[in-house]
Chains A and B, each alone.
Chain A
Amino acid sequence: MNIITDTALEKALDAKMNTTPLKMIGKDVSVYYGDKRALFDVNLNVRQNTVTALIGPSGCGKSTFLRCLNRMNDTIDHCRVTGLITLDEQNIYDSAIDVVELRARVGMVFQKPNPFPKSIYENVAYGPRIHGLARTKSEMDQIVESSLQKAGLFNEVKDRLNEPGTGLSGGQQQRLCIARAVAVSPEVILMDEPCSALDPIATARVEELIHELRANYTIVIVTHSMQQAARVSQRTAMFHMGNLVEENDTDKMFTNPDDQRTQDYIMGRFG
C-alpha cells in the first residue's frame, strides 16, 4: 500500500518534472586545463524555472561545469571545452554566438562577494549601463530599485545608495552581487557557493531569495551543504572526480539515491 503510493507519487512528480522545458542542455561536456582533464563527458540538463543544485566533493568539477554554462572558462588560459552546450536549443560555443550577449542572458554570482569599488547604485547600474538597458536616468533608477528589491536589499540600503558597495556586510554584499546579476534581466543565474562566506542568518536570507527568484529565473547553484541543496533545489546533480554520478529530483536524491556513491557522499561517508 505504502509502496504503491510512493511509486504513484514519484510517477506524478516525474510527469510534472518531465514536462518542464529544458533551458540548457549539456551533452558530452569535457573540459581540459592544459593536459589535465577536469570533466569527463558530462550529460546534464537544466530545466526552466527550476533550481538545480550541483554537489560533490571538492575538486570534482562543479565550478568547472558551472563556468562552462556562461563561458567564463574562456577567460582562463589553457582551458579547453568540448561537447555541446545549448541555451534554448542554441549552441553557446557556436562561433555565431556573442559571448557578451550570452553572459547577459546567463548571469553569475561568485563564491566570494565581489562588489566593485563603486557606490551601491553604480554596482547595480553597471550591467544595465554596458548593455544599454536604460535610456534615461529615471529608467536606470527604476532598474536599480527593482533589482535591489528582488534581491531583498532595497530597504536596508535605500538611504545610502551612494555609499561604496564594499562598505556593506558580507551578506549584504552577496545580495548586492545578486542584485547586480538580476539587473541585466538574465534568464539563467549561476551561483557558485554563494553562501560559503556568509553566516547562517545571511545564508537563510539568500536561500529565501533563491526561492523567490525561481519564479522568474532558472537557477544553477553549486553548494557544499547537503541541507542547502535539499532546501533550495528541485533537481540535484552529483559529481565525482570529473564525472556526473547521478542526476535526479532532489527529494529522491536525498531519500533514495540510485547510486551508491551518492548515498555515501550524502551520508558523509567520503569527502
Chain B
Amino acid sequence: MTTSAIIMIIIGLGIVTYLVGRARAVTLSQGKLSNMHSRPVYYGAYAAICAMLPALAVLVVWLIAAPIVVEKAVKTSLSETTQEISVATGNLTFGTVRAIAGGLTKLTPEELARAKAGEINLREILGARGVPLASETDPAMVAAAEDYNALNATSRMAMTGVVLLVGLLGAAFGLRRIAARFRARNGVERVILVALIAASCIAILTTVGIVGSMLSETLRFFASVSPSEFFFGTVWDPRFSAAGNANSAGQFGLLPLLAGTLYIAFVAMLFAVPIGLFAAIYMAEYASPMLRSTAKPLLEVLAGIPSIVYGFFALITVGPFLRDLSANLNGLVTGNYQSFIQAQSVLTAGLVMGIMLIPFVSSLSDDIITQVPRAMRDGSLGLGATRSETIKRVILPAALPGIVGALLLTASRAVGETMIVVLAAGVAARMQLNPFEPMTTVTVKIVNQLTGDLEFTSPQTLVAFALGITLFVITLCLNIYALYIVRKYREQYE
C-alpha cells in the first residue's frame, strides 16, 4: 500500500473514531451534559488523537528508518559476494543496484528470466524502458536488486500492518477511556499546546540553523582571509579571474561596501522620512474618515510592489531622467551639456529606495500617532492650541520614541534592500562622498559573488557569507534596538 493511502486510512480512522467517541459521550451523558467532565466533542477529539497520533508517529519513524536498514542489508550481502568493495565503490555499486531494482519492476517476468539467463542485455533493455544505467550489470547486482525489491516489499507490508494495528489499538484505547469523570478536555488542550510549541520551535530552529550554517561558512572564509583585513580593509578587489589560484587571494575590504550601504540607506531615509511622516500626520490628524479609508490602503499598495519593479523603474526611468536633467542644468549654467549625475548613482538608488520606504514610514508612524490617547489632543485643544501646535508640542513628543523605533525598522530594511541597488547603484566598490557617482553595497556584492559558477571553496565565494552575516548583525541590532524603544514607549500609557 502506498504511503498516501496509509495516511488516508489513518485520517479516515480518526474521523470514524471521533464520531464514535462523540456519540459514546453523548450516550454516557444520558441527556445531561453536566454529567460529563468535558463536552462530547472533546471526548471525540481525544479518541481521534489516540487513534491518529501514535500511528502517524510510527509511520514517520518507519519511513525514515526502513531505507537505512534495507540499504545496510543489501550492502552486506553484496560485499559477501563480491568481496573487494571499498566504501566509495560500495556506494556506487549500491546506486546501480537501486537503479536496477527500479528498472526490474518495469520488466515482464519472461524478460526478467531471459535477462538472467544472459539471453538479452539487461542494460540495453532497461535503457529502452527509460532507466539508464551507468555500467554493465553483473548477476550479483541483479540478485542484489531482487533482494532489495523483496526487502522493500516486505518492509512496506509490515509497515502497513503495524501502522494500521497501532491506529486501531489507539482508537480502542481512546474510546475505552471515555467515562463521565475522564478529563478529555485537558488532554486535548495539552496536545494542542504541544503542537503550538512544536511550530514555534521549528521557526526558531530554522533561524538558528541558518545562522549556524552562515557562521561555519564564514569561519571557513576567515581561515583564508584574516578578520582584520576584512573588517578594516579599504579596498575591495576579490580578483575573480584569479579564483582558485592560491597565491592571489584578492583583497576583501568591507569598508567601501559598508560605506555605500549606509550612504544609500541614508539618502533613502532622507527622502522617505519627511514625506512618510508628513503623510502619516495628515492621515492620522487631518484626513476625514472617508479620505483616510481610501487613501491609506492606496498608500499601502506602494508597499506591496516587489522591489525588483522599483529596481527597473530606477534603471530605466529615474536614472536616465536624473542624468538628462543634470546635463540640461549644466548646459543652462555653463553652456557645457555634460551630465554630472551618472545614471547609476547613489542618488538614483537612494531616491527610488526612499519612494519604496515611504509607505513603511507612513503606515508605521500612523499607527503610533493614532495610539496617542484622544485625551492628550483634547487637553491641548481645550487650552486653545491649534491643531498643528497640538501635533508639534504634544502628539509628536509623545509619539517620538515609537516613531524613532519605526524609523529604525525602516532603516534596517533600507540596509538589507537588494534589488534596487543591484540595478541602480552600480557595482564599483569605492569610498567617496559624491552622491552623483555610483557606489555599491554589501547586498550587491553578495549577489555578484554568488552568481557565477565558482565552487564554494574559494574565498571569492565564501566572502558572501561573511558579508551576509555582517549585514545580518547590523539589521538585527537595528531591529532589537527599535523593538526596545517601541516597547519602552508602549509602557508610557498603560
* A interface, CB within 8 angstroms of B: 70, 72, 75, 77, 100-104, 107-108, 110, 112, 114-118, 126-127, 130-131, 166, 177, 180-181, 184
**Contacts A117-B397, A130-B393; is A70 near B382 (CB within 8 Å)?**
yes
Contacts of B289 in A (CB 8 A): 77
Q: State in angstroms the CA–CA spacing of A207 and B474 once bound together.
A: 57
Q: Does B492 contact A (CB under 8 A)?
A: yes
Q: State in angstroms the CA–CA spacing of A104 and B379 once bound together.
A: 12
A127 close to B383 (CB less than 8 A)? yes
Stretch at the interface among B11-19, B125-133, B254-262, B370-378: B370-378
Which of A77, A104, A107, A110 is the one whose CB lies under 8 Å from B375? A110
**Contacts A77-B289, A116-B394, A126-B393; is A110 near B384 (CB within 8 Å)?**
no
Contacts of A116 in B (CB 8 A): 376, 379-380, 394, 398
In the complex, residue of chain B having the shortest beta-carbon distance to the beta carbon of A118: B397
Contacts of A102 in B (CB 8 A): 384
Cβ proximity bits B385-406 to A, threshold 8 Å, 1 near / 0 not: 1100100011001100000000
Q: Does B288 contact A (CB under 8 A)?
A: yes
How far is the CB of B178 from the nearest CB of chain A, in Å?
A: 51
Q: State in angstroms the CA–CA spacing of A166 and B389 once bound together.
A: 21
In the complex, residue of chain B having the shortest beta-carbon distance to the beta carbon of A129: B393
12 A-B pairs in the complex with CB atoms less than 8 angstroms apart: A77-B288, A100-B386, A107-B383, A108-B378, A110-B375, A117-B397, A118-B397, A126-B380, A126-B393, A130-B386, A131-B384, A181-B383
Q: State in angstroms the CA–CA spacing of A8 and B59 once bound together.
A: 101
How far is the CB of A208 from the nearest CB of chain B, in Å?
A: 23
Q: State in angstroms the CA–CA spacing of A166 and B289 once bound together.
A: 31
Q: State in angstroms the CA–CA spacing of A100 and B394 once bound together.
A: 16
In the complex, residue of chain B having the shortest beta-carbon distance to the beta carbon of A116: B394
Contacts of B382 in A (CB 8 A): 70, 72, 103, 107-108, 110, 181
How far is the CB of A226 from the nearest CB of chain B, in Å?
A: 26
Contacts of B375 in A (CB 8 A): 110, 112, 114
**Contacts A112-B375, A114-B379, A126-B393; is A100 near B398 (CB within 8 Å)?**
no
Q: State in angstroms the CA–CA spacing of A229 and B383 once bound together.
A: 25
Contacts of A126 in B (CB 8 A): 380, 383, 385, 393
Q: Does B193 contact A (CB under 8 A)?
A: no
Q: State in angstroms the CA–CA spacing of A177 and B375 once bound together.
A: 12
Q: State in angstroms the CA–CA spacing of A100 and B389 once bound together.
A: 11
Q: State in angstroms the CA–CA spacing of A33 and B6 once bound together.
A: 64
B384 close to A100 (CB less than 8 A)? yes
Q: State in angstroms the CA–CA spacing of A166 and B492 once bound together.
A: 9
A110 close to B379 (CB less than 8 A)? yes
* B interface, CB within 8 angstroms of A: 288-289, 373, 375-386, 389, 393-394, 397-398, 492
Q: State in angstroms the CA–CA spacing of A114 and B378 once bound together.
A: 9
**Contacts A77-B289, A130-B389; is A104 near B384 (CB within 8 Å)?**
yes
Q: State in angstroms the CA–CA spacing of A151 and B246 once bound together.
A: 82
Known: A75-B378, A107-B384, A177-B379. 7 other contacts (CB 8 A): A72-B381, A104-B384, A114-B375, A116-B376, A117-B376, A126-B380, A131-B384
How far is the CB of B385 from the nearest CB of chain A, in Å?
A: 5
Q: State in angstroms the CA–CA spacing of A245 and B392 once bound together.
A: 43
In the complex, residue of chain B having the shortest beta-carbon distance to the beta carbon of A108: B382
How far is the CB of B364 from the nearest CB of chain A, in Å?
A: 20
Contacts of A72 in B (CB 8 A): 378, 381-382
Shortest 8 CB-CB distances between A and B: which pairs? Answer: A114-B375, A103-B384, A108-B382, A104-B384, A127-B383, A114-B379, A100-B384, A130-B385
Contacts of B393 in A (CB 8 A): 126, 130
Q: State in angstroms the CA–CA spacing of A49 and B376 once bound together.
A: 29
Contacts of B381 in A (CB 8 A): 72, 75, 103
Contacts of A110 in B (CB 8 A): 375, 378-379, 382
Contacts of A184 in B (CB 8 A): 383-384
Q: State in angstroms the CA–CA spacing of A70 and B377 once bound together.
A: 15
In the complex, residue of chain B having the shortest beta-carbon distance to the beta carbon of A164: B492
Contacts of B380 in A (CB 8 A): 116, 126
B384 close to A114 (CB less than 8 A)? no
